[in-house]
Amino acid sequence: MHRRRVYVCPLASCPASVNASLDPMNLREDDGMNPEDFQPDEQLLLHAVALLTGSETAESSQRLPTSLPEIGIGADAALSAMFDDVLGRSRDLGAPGFFAHMDPPTPPITWAMHLWTASRNQNLLHPDTAPRARELERLAVDWIAPWFGMSGGHMTPGSTVANLTAIWAARESGCRVVVSGTGAHLSIRKAAHLLGMEHRVIDDWSVADDLTNAVAVITAGTTSSGEIESLDAASDARWRHVDAAWSGPLRLSDRYRHLLDGIEDADSVAMSAHKWLFQPKESAFVLFADHEAAHRLISVDGAYLAVPNVGILGSHGAVAVPLLAMLLAYGREGVAGMIDRTMALIDELAELVDAHDDLESRSEPSSGVLCWRHKSVSVDDIKRYLPDDVLVSSTVIDGEPWLRSVAANPNADPAKVVAGVLESAARYRP
């Protein structure tokens, strides 16, 4: 039976006639993909790398369609079509003027590993579909956990899930209340709500009420200011969890490890590798002092499972691979050196701010986070008039707005960032 071919322009919202002037190479049979489309295509991959590195330019910068195309344009054309949205319009987190968020640039070894893992699409839920990838995640945990005094754990997509997992384990161990400081991440409130637990917020751990039925969540590196709460707080809590999503990698640094002394006494720790370990998203850890006991509390069996499912996730990819490759490539000392470099950059920024009469900082930087501002131009106006090649974030602490810079970019240029803020202030006209 003859099938009519209808061409829907994949790079515009309106359909186009097959009689229009179209490159015939862009027309494919409407039976879509073929088995050979799942085989390695070296030319396509080299083209993708060339576009990424800038050695080739995309042939098309047209916008993507607003509805699902009926007929594809082919993989090479799709690369060109996607280029502008994926690479051209993305924020360069490693640019000199980017000193804003807890989101780092990533080293190319992690890009290569993402390519490899995507090609195999391992699912760690089943040993049959990830015979080696499961072992590689355990290896990554074995490499990381001892630096926190933890016996083991597993990887999660981020510390929001890591916090939820740890609080779930705490609930299963008998905790009924979640207690946290005022600087706790919003994921703690989410976790308490999802788990049906009361959530109490306190200003001072030293005057906390009876915590014998509570999981105390201690924040090591608050989102707004980087403050590290006392890691020996809440000693009478039934379960002590440290949210070290941001600051956790400081444990790898000989120079700054002491900032997290006491974390080894926690029952659980959350740490995001896609923050200060320079990993692509989504990569984080939930670690436990007694991971075997904790995992038993949060394991679920299923008829289709060969082994129990531990934690919140079902299907789970080989996210440990890029981290293992980076740590293998640069070692602890190399990664720690990069963390130390970013800490030096935030100190340099603080010195530049303190040295300028028109700028002020809230305090000295804490775990790589500096809150600062212009004395006479509002934070909103500074951000509104910033040069395109400079970016700082903002926050509100105790009702006061501040600019916020985070030491996640080893390529940041503090002088450029300060100059950008001063230029913005000069552009401002009330």
Chain segment 69-90, per-residue pLDDT in tens: 999 999 999 999 999 999 999 9
Confidence tier at 3 by pLDDT (50, 70, 90): very low
* 43 against 63, higher pLDDT: 43
Q: Are strands 369-374 and 359-361 parallel, antiparallel or unpaired?
A: antiparallel
pLDDT for residue 2 is more than 80 = no
B/e letters for 203-222, b = 16+ CB within 10 Å, e = fewer, are: eebeebeebeebbbbbbbbb
d(CA 93, CA 101): 9
Q: Region 329-354: what's the mean pLDDT?
A: 98
CATH number of 330-427: 3.90.1150.10
Which segments within 76-213 are labelled E, that is strand? 152-156, 177-181, 198-202
d(CA 35, CA 27): 18
Cα 382 from chain centroid? 26
Enter the tokens of residue 108: 């190319």
- pLDDT tens profile 93-129: 999 999 999 999 999 999 999 999 999 999 999 999 9
Confidence tier at 36 by pLDDT (50, 70, 90): confident
Question: Would you state the pLDDT for residue 8?
Answer: 40
pLDDT for residue 53 is more than 60 = yes
pLDDT for residue 402 is more than 70 = yes
Question: Would you state the pLDDT for residue 59?
Answer: 75
Check if the beta carbon of residue 339 is closer than 8 Å to that of residue 327. no
Question: Would you state the pLDDT for residue 23?
Answer: 44
The domain defined by 121-328 carries CATH number 3.40.50.1100: no
d(CA 107, CA 98): 16
- pLDDT tens profile 251-293: 999 999 999 999 999 999 999 999 999 999 999 999 999 999 9
DSSP states of 51-77 as a string?
HHHTSS--S--PPPPSS--SS---HHH
* 131 against 243, higher pLDDT: 243
Extents of the domains making up the chain:
24-87, 121-328, 330-427
Confidence tier at 6 by pLDDT (50, 70, 90): very low
In sequence order, the 6+-apart residues with CB closer than 8 A to the CB of 14 are: none
Q: What is the helix, strand, coil percentage profile of the chain, to 5?
A: 40, 15, 45
pLDDT above 90: percentage of residues in the chain: 83
Q: How many CB atoms lie within 10 A of CB 225?
A: 20
The alpha carbon torsion through 407, 412, 414, 420 (nearest 10 deg) reads: -120
Q: Which helix (H) or strand (E) holds 333?
A: helix 320-355
d(CA 380, CA 371): 14
Question: Would you state the pLDDT for residue 303?
Answer: 67
Confidence tier at 308 by pLDDT (50, 70, 90): confident
DSSP states of 250-292 as a string?
GGG-TTTGGGGTTGGGSSEEEEEHHHHT-PPSS-EEEEETTHH
